[in-house]
Each structure stands twice: as C-alpha cells, then as structure tokens.
Structure 1
Amino acid sequence: MSVEIATETMPETTAVENWKPAMPPNDLIFDDGEPLETNRHRIAMNLLIRSLQQAWCDRNDFFTGGNMFVYFSIEQVRNKDFRGPDFFVVLDVDGNKERQGWVVWEEGGRYPDVIVELMSPSTAEIDKGFKKNLYERVFRTRNYFVFNPFNPNSLEGWQLDPNFHYQPLAPNEQGWLWCEALGFWLGTWQGTIDRDSTMWLRFYDTQGNLVLLPEEAAQQQAQ
C-alpha cells in the first residue's frame, strides 16, 4: 500500500498525532577557516571573554563565547550562513557543558542575552543594520553593542524594551553604556594588552571599578 493511500484511509486525528517536525541537521559546521578582521579584534574579543569569566569565576550558570557559530534555524543551515557574533553571553544555562558552537535547538531554545560585534569599516553597515535587526526580531537579545577597536568613539548600544524593540542606550558621564543583562558597564580603557597599546572595550562594575583579567587580578592580590 502506498503512503498516499494509507494517508487517505487514516482518520484525520491519527495523521496529526503521527506527524513529526523535520529533524534538525546533525552535521553542522563549526569552523569556516576565516579569522577575525585583525589581531586587535582577536585581542578585544578575548579580553571581554576572559574578564567576564574572571568576574564570574565562582559561577557555572552562564556561557560566553566569541567568533563561534550560532545556529538558530534549518533555513540558516541550508543557506550556509555560518558566521556568529564576535562576543556573546547566554545566562541561566549549564556553563560546564562542552560546546563547539551555540545550537539553539540543543539549548532549549535559548538565544544570547548579550552580544557585542567588533566592527570594522567593512562590517559597520551590516553590524548596525542586518545584524541589529536579526538580534532584535529573531534572537530578542536583551543588550546589543557595537564597537570598532580602532575607533574609541564608536561604542553604541541598545536594550530591548517590553515590546521587543531596541532602544538606544544613553552614555553616562564617562561615556560608558549600561549592560542591564550582565549588571556591568561597558566602556573604554587605555592600556597595553598583548603588546598592543590602545583604547580597549572593557567591563566596569557598578562602583566604577575595572573588571580585571585573571592576570590583573593575580597581580592585584600579590601587591
């Protein structure tokens, strides 16, 4: 008996009960071989990741990553749209789980709560246009920021309002932007990291103290 005949002779309720959604692909790509724009972009990404991990070293209920793929739909996989945010944080998840990327359907439908894109002249239009719309309308990411590591005045940020629309964040007197999802400020800091002296994007706590890297925290404790 063909599938068509079987379907016709089945009661309608049985057909509905037996229906199953298409299974998501399990052969995902997690490395496209493309590096970040510059070495400074790489340092800036690692700076955000490592400082947040240091600040929350006693917590295992979050995941932070950078330049790794975020998979959120089968259509995205089919279109080979692989690139992920430069820096992102997901809260209230198992922080001990090993991940090659962030696969939304394997994480209970969870999307990033915070995203930072490290812009360059070639990506600024996409970061503040297409990606901003994606993170607002599909991801519903609570806080989104953009920053060009070669332009200290380029920091911009948005927060999702109750109607799921992004509202621009106003800077404080220091020019910092408040990240409500993390409970930290984001602002610039002049210093040298990995032999590169510039204005870096850093986290600050509610008291205005710099959120330290592991080596900075160790040095402070040794003094």
Structure 2
Amino acid sequence: MATQVSEAKSSTELVISWEPLPDDFQLEDDPVENTGQPILAGALRESLEISGFIQPQMLIASNFGLCATLNGQFIAKAPDWVYVPCVNQILAERKSYTPNLEGDIPAVVMEFLSDTEGGEYSVKRTYPPGKWFFYEHILQVPIYIIFEPNGGLLEFYQLENRRYELKQPDENGRHWIASMGLFLGTWQGTKETRTGYWLRWWDEAGNLLLWAVEQIEQERQRAEQERQRAEQERQRAEQERQQKERLIAYLQSQGIDPNNLPTDETPTKLQ
C-alpha cells in the first residue's frame, strides 16, 4: 500500500529544470491562427517603442518559443505576446528563450483567442502540458492575459499563491501592470486594415501611448493650430495697421499733423 502511495506521488510530482535548447530539437513552426494576431501584437510593441519604454535588456516578442524541461521532457510554448524585463545576454536574434537560464521569468504573457480552439485555458498537466498549466505551474508567469479580439473581452489573471486569479479592471476599464509601470486596456477603432477592438497602453497619468500614425496626426494638428494662431496674429496686426492709417487720414483731413500731436508731457498754457 505504501508503494502505491509513493508511486501516485511520483506520478504527480513536477520536476522542472532549465536547460539549453537541444541541438536536435525542432521548434514547431505552427501557422498563425488568425491574420489579425500579428497586427495586434505589433501594435502593442509599436506604442511601447515609440514612447521610449523598450530598453536593450528587455525581450518583447510574439509567437516566440518559451522553453522548460518537465520531468526530463523538453517543452516549448509560443504565446502570442510576451514581455521579459531583463535577459542575461542581448542577442540580435533568438530562436527561443529559457527563463532562469537566460534571464528573468516572463512578467506578462498574452494569448489572443481565435475562431479555433488554441488551448489557452488548457490545464492539462500530462506531456505536453496545456498553455494555462505551463504558464501557471511551470513558468509561474505573474500575469496571464487572454484577449478575445472580436468581442473585446479582456481577461486579466494574476498569480496568487501559485494560482491564477481573475482581476477586475479599474473605473476606467484598465489593469495596472506594476512591472511595466503601465495600464493595459481595450480600445475600439481602426489601424491599418483592421477595425475592431485593440489592446492599448496608458501611462501612470492616464495618457494613451500613441501609435506612429496617431503621433503623426497629432503633430499635424499641432502644426495646423500653430499655423492658425500665426494667421490670426497676422490678421490682428493687419487690422491694427489699417485702423492706424484711417486715424492718420482723419487727422490730416482735420488739418492736424499726426507727427506733431500734443502729449501728456506738453506743458499747459496758463490763462
């Protein structure tokens, strides 16, 4: 009986190690499930890059292999978007990333739901484990986000006592990510060829981090406002000039020399 208990315990035990990618290991080259996913991921990175948030030691990638070894078997999962605060070595290109061995554990992973079941909620623990189980129990990623682009549903899970807990947004419909110093929320509109819901970043003061096209439009509007202000100033100066000319013409018609008008300093003649 004791042997059975021991065997049962060993069958559920998780032995996790962080080892280099085997030379003969082939990362799965799965096709992108939805053409909108790369656009969503790219938009998240774009606003971070333009705002100056991204630093060389960070790793921000999409559809990129995160690796671990579980009970002697190698595992690689590719989230739709991942943020790692600091890596040990800055490389121009990476085939994959192994947390602890190569740097920090990812602080945030995101999955974008598609029309087909992609296992974003899978808690399957047998090999190969499901995505949810992999992020929650193996990598222990602090924040796991699942986003449904068609309906705009954002599920924000935070790791507490080794379990993901669903968190509600604040009064603005956003979630604070302390490790990034940014808010994450949904936004509805058009970018490139896609119209619908997007994930967007806001800074601590509540300012939206802009995309390139938005920044260009903002600069165009600022330049137009400056042009209008300059035009209004020009018109005001022109009105003052015309008013002065009319006053001079009137004084001359009255026989008064505009250049020889009495001033407050002219002494008053006593009667």
Give me the TM-score of the superposition, normalised by structure 1: 0.75
Q: Is 1:103 aligned to 2:97, yes or no?
A: yes
Q: Is 1:180 aligned to 2:173, yes or no?
A: no
Please report how far the alpha carbon of residue 136 of structure 1 lies from its aligned counterpart in structure 2 after TM superposition. Answer: 1.4
Q: For residues 181 and 117 of structure 1, do their structure 2 counterparts lie closer, same or farther at Cα, with a shift above 3 Å needed?
A: same
Q: For residues 62 and 22 of structure 1, do their structure 2 counterparts lie closer, same or farther at Cα, with a shift above 3 Å needed?
A: closer
Q: Is 1:133 aligned to 2:130, yes or no?
A: no
Please report how far the alpha carbon of residue 219 of structure 1 lies from its aligned counterpart in structure 2 after TM superposition. Answer: 4.1
Instruction: Provide the residue aligned with 1:155 in structure 2.
Output: 154
> Contact 2:141–2:159 (CA<8 Å) still a contact in 1?
yes
CA distances 1:59-92 after superposition (whole Å, capped 9, x unpaired): 2231100011112227554xxx544000000002
**Equivalent residues, number:** 196
Please report how far the alpha carbon of residue 31 of structure 1 lies from its aligned counterpart in structure 2 after TM superposition. Answer: 5.6
> Contact 2:99–2:139 (CA<8 Å) still a contact in 1?
no
> Which gives a bigger RCO, structure 1 or 2 (Cα 8 Å, sep 6+)?
1
For structure 1, list consecutive stretches of 5 or more residues without a partner in the other structure.
1-20
Give matches, 1:38-49, under 5 Å: 38-49=34-45
One-letter amino acid of the structure 2 residue matched with residue 127 of structure 1 = E
Instruction: Provide the residue aligned with 1:197 in structure 2.
Output: 195
Give matches, 1:65-84, under 5 Å: 65-73=61-69, 75-77=72-74, 82-84=76-78
Q: For residues 179 and 108 of structure 1, do their structure 2 counterparts lie closer, same or farther at Cα, with a shift above 3 Å needed?
A: same
One-letter amino acid of the structure 1 residue matched with residue 149 of structure 2 = P
Please report how far the alpha carbon of residue 193 of structure 1 lies from its aligned counterpart in structure 2 after TM superposition. Answer: 1.0
CA distances 1:87-111 after superposition (whole Å, capped 9, x unpaired): 0000022684223333316843533
Larger displacement relative to structure 2 (21-30 or 134-143): 21-30
One-letter amino acid of the structure 1 residue matched with residue 190 of structure 2 = T
Larger displacement relative to structure 2 (142-151 or 114-123): 114-123
Q: Distance in 1 between matches of 2:189 and 2:219?
A: 20
Instruction: Provide the residue aligned with 1:166 in structure 2.
Output: 164
Q: Distance in 2 between matches of 1:179 and 1:88?
A: 13
Give me the TM-score of the superposition, normalised by structure 2: 0.63
> Contact 1:169–1:178 (CA<8 Å) still a contact in 2?
no
Q: Is 1:29 aligned to 2:22, yes or no?
A: no
For structure 2, list consecutive stretches of 5 or more residues without a partner in the other structure.
1-17, 124-130, 223-271
RMSD: 2.8
Larger displacement relative to structure 2 (49-58 or 177-186): 49-58
Q: Distance in 2 between matches of 1:95 and 1:52?
A: 21
Identity score, percent: 28
Q: For residues 105 and 128 of structure 1, do their structure 2 counterparts lie closer, same or farther at Cα, with a shift above 3 Å needed?
A: closer
Q: For residues 58 and 39 of structure 1, do their structure 2 counterparts lie closer, same or farther at Cα, with a shift above 3 Å needed?
A: closer
CA distances 1:97-153 after superposition (whole Å, capped 9, x unpaired): 2233333168435331110100124336x212332222111111111100011111x
One-letter amino acid of the structure 2 residue matched with residue 155 of structure 1 = L
Q: Distance in 2 between matches of 1:43 and 1:25?
A: 31
The SS at the match of 1:73 is: strand
> Contact 1:113–1:142 (CA<8 Å) still a contact in 2?
yes
Pick from 66, 81, 85 the counterpart of residue 87 of structure 1.
81
The SS at the match of 1:136 is: helix
CA distances 1:22-64 after superposition (whole Å, capped 9, x unpaired): 97512343461x3322222221111112222233356223110
Pick from 43, 50, 55 the counterpart of residue 51 of structure 2.
55
Please report how far the alpha carbon of residue 180 of structure 1 lies from its aligned counterpart in structure 2 after TM superposition. Answer: 2.5
Q: For residues 207 and 118 of structure 1, do their structure 2 counterparts lie closer, same or farther at Cα, with a shift above 3 Å needed?
A: same
